Amino acid sequence: MTSELLDAALVEEATKKSGLIWVQGSGDAGTGPARPLWHVWHAGAACVLGDGPGEQPLTGLTDGGEAVVTVRSKDKGGRVVAWPATVVELAPGSPEWDAAVAELKGKRLNAGDGEEMPLRWRRECRVLRLQPHGTTLPLPDDSLAAPPPATPAVTREPIPAALPRLLRRKRR
């Protein structure tokens, strides 16, 4: 019983203090990469918002599904704890949705629509609760670094030979 309470306290404190969590949903079939998501800790769960225009993608997270959440240290960036979660989608306009959105609105940075944000979120986005359950998961020993996804982006031309000299000259 004591270890369960310590695990719950660790999950809550680490998740509250971290501005970013890494989430791998069951829809990723355990093979997809974990995705970084901004969140708030509210009422015993991490609440995330996304899948709307200009918002973070919530790929692999389905209502009633499972997810693995990895929390990083805010100052050093290393993994602190990993925990299993149940994904619950909040219904727009419900009291739980309103309370979660009030917390999320306070943490949302760089939003162009200010006070209209909750209305846009109600129309276009999903709000999910990632509710911890069970005990914490062991942290892996390796880096879990994944190769970058393929992209059509390329460098058009090599940089001009004179550019390094021009940049040095401007610093003086």
Show pLDDT as tens, one digit a residue, over the chain (172 residues): 688 889 999 999 999 999 899 999 886 555 677 889 999 999 999 999 999 888 899 988 999 999 999 999 888 878 899 999 999 999 999 999 999 999 999 888 777 777 888 999 999 999 999 999 989 999 888 877 777 778 888 777 777 888 888 888 766 5
Judge whether 74 and 19 are in contact, CB under 8 Å: yes
pLDDT at 29: 54
Neighbours of 153 (CB within 10 A): 5
Judge whether 27 and 59 are in contact, CB under 8 Å: yes
pLDDT at 150: 82
According to DSSP H, which parts of 33-128 are helical? 95-107, 117-124
According to DSSP H, which parts of 73-162 are helical? 95-107, 117-124
pLDDT at 89: 96
Neighbours of 46 (CB within 10 A): 26
Judge whether 70 and 22 are in contact, CB under 8 Å: yes
The CATH number of the domain covering residues in 2-145: 2.30.110.10
pLDDT at 171: 60
pLDDT at 144: 73
CA gap 111, 131 in Å, rounded: 26
